[in-house]
Structure 1
């Protein structure tokens, strides 16, 4: 388990003294892989840009301002996001997380098929009513 499933609607974070419900090393490797996928400028990069645009549109339609972290106000020496503002880095990380989750889903699907094990429809198809799932073949660059 890579730790990308939401817990109470948010990404799970480490808490002092609490046992992790995910493999911390795998999660770290996924973030490293994500930066490499961005630098490769392939299909996953295109997916990232599409998701980032969706997030930017969503926040702008909600009336939020997307600003660099350096423009966030400070309180007690720490930067914070007012209710009508979100940092560019948060939007970037949200889109990156979506890209990582897509990669992991496609890896799982390909691995199961290679092992001759049964697979099921992706979550968006099975539960959200999507009709066209993204396949591993679609995300191959060549």
Structure 2
């Protein structure tokens, strides 16, 4: 994958060590801190022991950040995935549900929506009650009109106004973080999938098909079409790389990967011996 150098790759391998430890990609996500708990991203809680590896999460976050920061230069396929997710989340962030009670408040809020570049996509009205799905366009920068509306709606004194964004926190920074998180999870799933296939380990159905009941999924991607690292498997019949897969190259990559893992293990053993020797002295 372009933009991920040898240092980050070595650090990632040092924490994963062996993909046999993770029979499912969900366990790898959990170990690296990318699991979902009660519908929200897993976080560390003060006073409690972390249920994931904080250092491993930091390394994978750096991997994703490198892809994004160097994306305009390398044009990595995962950077293009990030842009796709960013556009999807940005479109969701532009939309909010607005519920207004009171005839005067309805008239005032509708006027504010029109003046701030809002468009009513769906609406329901009753006796002194109006509810609608509103999409706000951008004037100077993304989500600026939406933020103006959210700030202005707090100053409405007549009636009762409730605003429910489709995204919990409709800010540009949050949209970027969500797109980056999704791209990193897909990258980890692809690493897990290809690594286990190369080692001859069972893979099973992709997570999005087995657990989320999706009908399709994004297959593992490579930045070098001349040397694809992939092989045809049970759930890979639609993979565009299966017809040009080079078995010799796959074996070379597997040998290189095993050599790297062995180097990391020896380095860890040496560090333990040095620490133990220093303690004895």
Distance in 2 (CA, whole Å) between partners of 1:125 and 1:104 is 16
Structure 1 residue runs of 5 or longer lacking an equivalent are: 74-81
Q: State the match for 1:36 in structure 2.
A: 66
Q: State the match for 2:223 in structure 1.
A: 141
Distance in 2 (CA, whole Å) between partners of 1:46 and 1:128 is 23
Shift of 1:130: 2.8
Determine if the alignment matches structure 1 residue 93 to structure 2 residue 177.
yes
Distance in 1 (CA, whole Å) between partners of 2:63 and 2:185 is 12
1:51 to 77, 85, 88: 85
Question: In the TM superposition, what are the counterparts of 1:1-142 in structure 2 within 5 Å?
Answer: 1-38=31-68, 39-40=70-71, 41-62=75-96, 63=134, 66-67=143-144, 86-136=170-220, 139-142=221-224
Shift of 1:103: 0.5
Distance in 2 (CA, whole Å) between partners of 1:37 and 1:24 is 20
- What is the root-mean-square deviation in Å for CA atoms of aligned residues? 2.4
Q: TM-score, normalised to structure 1's length?
A: 0.80
The SS at the match of 1:132 is coil
Shift of 1:3: 0.7
Distance in 2 (CA, whole Å) between partners of 1:114 and 1:37 is 24
Shift of 1:132: 3.0
Which structure has the larger Rg? 2
Shift of 1:111: 1.2
The SS at the match of 1:31 is helix
- Number of aligned residue pairs: give it: 130
Structure 2 residue runs of 5 or longer lacking an equivalent are: 1-30, 97-133, 137-142, 152-162, 225-281
Tell me: CA distance 1:64–1:34, structure 2 relative to 1, closer, same or farther (3 Å). Answer: farther
Would the aligned equivalents of 2:93 and 2:175 in 1 still touch at CA under 8 Å? no
